[in-house]
Amino acid sequence: MCEQKQKKLIDEVGDNHIATSYENPVREDAFDMTNDEKIEKIKGHVHEILHTLGMDMTDDSLMGTPNRVAKMYVNEIFGGLDPEKKPKASTFENNYKYGEMLVEKNITVYSTCEHHLLPIVGRAHVAYISSGRVVGLSKMNRIVNYYANRPQVQERLTMQIVKELQNALDTEDVACIIDAKHLCVNSRGINDIESSTVTSEFGGKFKDENVRKELLNYVNMDTKF
């Protein structure tokens, strides 16, 4: 592919917020450096970016910004890249024989668009039907948070949440709906502050229209899905 066509394709992927893979594109050597080493390196890059933009990096207000941003990237908003931080989704026997749908709705989603490194903010609604195992409610929130804390695409995030719970619960009957605002749409480009993006992934019994309608009714969303 010629350089001009490749650049055009790269621009189109980013402008249209298209994911290129189910897995986050992480290099094999991503964890060769320690977190402290990453922070030190990122700090230098942030300093250079601000300096290039013309900011006076000797100003008291800006002097600590590169370090703050570097720590935030590594320890917080991109901390979900670190497999060591993956929550253990402990499951338990469904001894009380609850066989209906369980829905954890309005889970806060804070993520970052991997195309513009701007926030994605919204709510996730996660549901499953037990096939013999149940998971602690807080673990559902933690799974959402773990996969959200990385450069992300909303479609991928939705699928990753479902896949993780399917593996933990040993059932296909898991669903996730995310309704989120993308600041790369709201604060730049088209500058549409009202629009939000809704994605969904329905597994197993949730592919049935009646089961799906029940879930959408629980989370107060339009049933035309």
Positions marked active-site:
113-116, 154, 182, 184
User: With contact defined as beta carbons under 8 Å apart, do 175 and 202 qualify?
Assistant: yes
CA angle, corner 156, sides to 151 and 158, nearest 5? 110
CA–CA separation, 133 vs 175, rounded Å?
A: 16
CA–CA separation, 34 vs 40, rounded Å?
A: 10
CA–chain centroid gap for 205, Å, is 24
User: With contact defined as beta carbons under 8 Å apart, do 184 and 116 qualify?
Assistant: yes
User: With contact defined as beta carbons under 8 Å apart, do 103 and 218 qualify?
Assistant: yes
